[in-house]
Amino acid sequence: MTTTLIIFLVICLVLACTFEFVNGFHDTANAVATVIYTNSMKPTVAVVYSGILNFIGVLTGGIAVAMGIVNLLPMEVLVDSNVYHGIAMILALLLSAIIWNLGTWWLGLPASSSHTLIGSIIGIGLAFYFLPDNVGGSAVNWDKAKDTGLALLISPLAGFTVAILMMFIFKRLVKNEFIYKEPIPGKMPPIWIRMLLWTTCGLVSFFHGQNDGQKGVGLVMMILIAILPASFSLDADINLQSTNANVMVINKIISATDTTQFGKEEFKNFSTIKKHAAHFAEATNGKAFSEAVALTDRFELRKDIVKITKSAEKLLKSANVAISKNDAETLKTEIKSAKKLVEYAPSWVIIMISVSLGLGTMIGWKRIVKTIGEKIGKQHMSYAQGASAEMVAAMGIGVASAYGVPVSTTHMLSSGIMGSMVAKKGLKNLQRKTITNIFLAWVLTLPVTMVLSGALFLLFRAIL
């Protein structure tokens, strides 16, 4: 690898850590605002506490969400024959995401880092349509983008609705009027309220690390695969023959399927599995681990596994594919096992992102905390409102992380605060100007980052 390429790789990795660092202090406010504004925890203690749990969340979060980020761009876009085109993609993506995050943070607006990242990635994909050689036919993985977009759309609606329901449950179960009143400045609430808010703050921080931290891991893996595909396309610790056994079972089950009801799309996926299964078996014949495979061939093996598993998953979902329940379960198990070869992240990547997110959590949180704590509702946040919003956010992010879906911590918590305010005195309890500004930031995030990242990509690609 040339010195120039090493420099660009380092720059890209530093920018990825910077994004996660900014994500830390941009989104920390969502976790600590409630404990700070209810006098349940001192600000310094709260951000350190949140930072530590964010760190732990990344370490224990797995990589399902990370791979969801990587898979937003098809492999043809991710790995270009010219490595500097890949660098142009990464630089544009990261810079646009960082610029928007810093801009909204400076204005004190709780915008979504998830939306920012997704918008930047889609902008890169769409920009391929404007390249002279027009390679953009499959520039965005729209199936993955739809799933991701749906999750990001539902999260604020869910946060708002469930927070109202949570406040209703609180009022039914807890008759102590103290928790529904505004906190007395400088006075700590009873220990049981503090413990509840400590717990909910910790859960939001932990699950934020599991979900948002994985996005940072996904970014780094995208960088490594784009710039060094030979070294990071495959997990060197996975036995290729074990994966080949998974592929053979997938191919066998699909081959035995009745194809008389297949449509054009089913036949396409059927043929894709057959083609790539044959290539994978041939390319891995007599080879135990990826180190035995030529550097130039490793990315092709990654492509085989991605194509096989994605096509098999699509056939499983198709109404035209008749398959027994046992075969369907076996297919799911084999697909999951086969993916282990390509869906991974080295320990150093996870630790690096954990540290970046944890440190970022402890800095720069005040601007957005003030918006969440003082400017969403016309009244100061009560103990019950803070607990309701935090519980909703923790549950939502936890479920999303379990299913490998990226959701917005910002949207879940901010909309939860809005819901808790509405539950008390209706819509009139919201500050219209603040809500308008927040929604405007939410609405603009995707289109602005798409345009910004796409434009930067075309510029950098022309320069590099």
**Is residue 422 a contact partner of residue 134, using CB atoms and an 8 Å limit?**
no
pLDDT at 140: 64
% of the chain at pLDDT higher than 70: 88
Query: How far is it, in rounded angstroms, from Cα 415 to Cα 393?
Result: 9
Q: Which residues contact 136 (CB under 8 A, 6 or more apart)?
A: 125, 126, 127, 128, 129, 130
- Express each pLDDT in 79-103 by its tens digit: 666 788 888 888 998 999 999 988 8
Q: How confident is the model at residue 234, as a pLDDT? A: 94
Q: What is the pLDDT of residue 464?
A: 80
Decide: pTM greater than 0.85. no
Q: What does the mean pLDDT of the chain come to?
A: 84
151: confidence class by pLDDT, cuts 50, 70, 90? low
Q: What is the pLDDT of residue 378?
A: 66
Of the ranges 114-118, 142-146, 278-282, 398-402, which one carries the lowest mean pLDDT score? Answer: 142-146
Q: What is the mean pLDDT of residues 43-50?
A: 87
Q: What is the pLDDT of residue 148?
A: 64
Q: What is the distance between the alpha carbons of residues 22 and 96, in angstroms, rounded to a whole number?
A: 13
Residue 136: pLDDT band by 50, 70, 90 thresholds? very low
Amino acid 201: pLDDT: 87
Q: For 363, list phi and psi in degrees, rounded to 5.
A: -130, 145
CA distances from 258 to 123, 247, 362 (A): 40, 19, 58
Does residue 122 register a pLDDT over 50?
Answer: yes
The DSSP line for 206-273 is HHHHHHHHHHHHHHHHHHHHHH-HHHHSS-TTS-HHHHHHHHHHHHHHHHTS--TT--HHHHHHHHHH
Query: Sorting pLDDT into bands at 50, 70 and 90, what band is 33?
Result: confident
- pLDDT of residue 138 exceeding 60, the answer is no
- pLDDT, one tens digit per residue, over 200-209 is 889 888 888 8
CA distance 454 to 462: 12
Evaluate if residue 235 carries a pLDDT over 60: yes
- How far apart are the C-alpha atoms of 250 and 257, rounded to whole Å? 11
